[in-house]
């Protein structure tokens, strides 16, 4: 496996986020959205101008995706602790859509992505990362929400293979990355199997993204890196960071050739924070010869 040089990674926003997550590159705005879940904030970074903007919420904001159409409810769909919502960045206004777990007060949403047909997949987790109360949901453009499966202490992902026929989803607390046969027409999953089992000493599998060459990039929480895996699971290269709690990644920028990486201060004690002054920052690195795929937009 080919490691990167630490010098190649830049901290472009040393924000000190408690739990930076969910990076989304907007082709429409040429900007990167990302969340600080525990800090209850949504951030936007525009590389061309260097502009940084943040929105503060009254509850955890977890995952973010763009909508195909922009109307009075706004251009984004998000998950909050209390479920799915549209968000209007112009007026800082929420339109709440659906809460699939109103009775599970110890749960919150975590990661989420949109598939090629415009459906928003998002998972929940136990706040303490211990009880298997988390589930994976599919939210469709007609407003219907389908419970796909449960039993997760920490749900993460998903991501899809280059041909769109395989979906990946992480059981972070157990160190497992699962693969499923995916039917893009129906949004159905079948044949769940173990794609990777990652030892805790190597970090926990967190957020992930697919590149245009078919590689699967998986952030390693506690492992201080992002690892690129080939279709057979082989670890092909590792991007090392100067912080341990690496949470997610996505490609963006001109030509989608920049890998943006989110990190967290969460679970770092005072000594670790002193050793990792850039923890919770937003990082970037140029990956020669590799570029990403445009993010799918929610069809609603």
Q: For 207-253, how does the pLDDT look when each residue is reduced to its tens digit (9 = 90+)? A: 999 999 999 999 999 999 999 999 999 999 999 999 999 999 999 99
Give me the pLDDT at residue 5, please.
Answer: 52
Blockwise average pLDDT, block size 10, the chain, 300 residues? 68 98 97 98 97 98 96 96 96 97 96 98 95 97 97 95 97 97 97 96 96 98 97 96 98 96 96 96 95 97
Count of beta carbons in the 10 Å neighbourhood of residue 30: 14
Give me the pLDDT at residue 43, please.
Answer: 98
Give me the pLDDT at residue 4, please.
Answer: 57
Q: Which residues neighbour 234 within 8 Å (Cβ) at sequence distance 6 or greater? A: none
Tokens 């010098």 found at: 7
Give me the pLDDT at residue 33, please.
Answer: 98
CA 201 from centre of chain: 22
Residue 271 phi, psi dihedral angles, 5° rounding: -65, -40
Give me the pLDDT at residue 7, please.
Answer: 57
Give me the pLDDT at residue 32, please.
Answer: 98
Give me the pLDDT at residue 1, please.
Answer: 64
Cα–Cα distance, 123 to 79 (Å, whole number): 9
Give me the pLDDT at residue 51, please.
Answer: 97
CA 122 from centre of chain: 10
Give me the pLDDT at residue 133, please.
Answer: 96
Give me the pLDDT at residue 6, please.
Answer: 57
Give me the pLDDT at residue 74, please.
Answer: 94
**Contact of 108 with 292, CB cutoff 8 Å:** no
């Amino acid at each position: 496996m080919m490691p990167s040089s630490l010098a190649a990674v830049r901290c472009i926003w040393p924000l000190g986020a408690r739990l930076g997550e969910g990076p989304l590159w907007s082709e429409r705005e040429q900007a990167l959205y990302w969340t600080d879940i525990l800090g209850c904030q949504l951030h936007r970074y525009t590389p061309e101008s260097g502009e940084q903007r943040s929105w503060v919420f009254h509850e955890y904001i977890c995952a973010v995706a763009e909508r195909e159409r922009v109307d009075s409810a706004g251009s984004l769909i998000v998950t909050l602790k209390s479920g799915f919502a549209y968000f209007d960045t112009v007026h800082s206004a929420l339109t709440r859509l659906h809460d699939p777990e109103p009775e599970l007060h110890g749960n919150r949403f975590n990661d989420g992505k949109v598939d090629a047909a415009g459906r928003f997949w998002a998972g929940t987790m136990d706040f303490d990362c211990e009880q298997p109360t988390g589930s994976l949901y599919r939210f469709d453009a007609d407003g219907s929400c389908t419970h796909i499966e449960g039993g997760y202490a920490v749900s993460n992902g998903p991501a899809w293979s280059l041909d769109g026929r395989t979906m990946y989803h992480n059981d972070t607390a157990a160190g497992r990355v699962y693969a499923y046969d995916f039917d893009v027409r129906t949004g159905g999953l079948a044949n769940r199997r173990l794609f990777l089992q990652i030892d805790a000493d190597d970090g926990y599998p967190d957020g992930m993204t697919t590149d245009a060459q078919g590689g699967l990039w998986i952030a390693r929480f506690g492992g201080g890196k992002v690892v690129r895996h080939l279709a057979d699971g082989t670890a092909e290269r590792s991007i090392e960071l100067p912080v341990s709690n690496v949470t997610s990644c996505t490609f963006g920028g001109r030509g989608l050739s920049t890998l943006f990486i989110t990190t967290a201060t969460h679970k770092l004690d005072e000594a670790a924070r002193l050793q990792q002054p850039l923890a919770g920052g937003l990082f970037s690195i140029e990956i020669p010869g590799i570029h990403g795929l445009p993010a799918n937009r929610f069809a609603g």
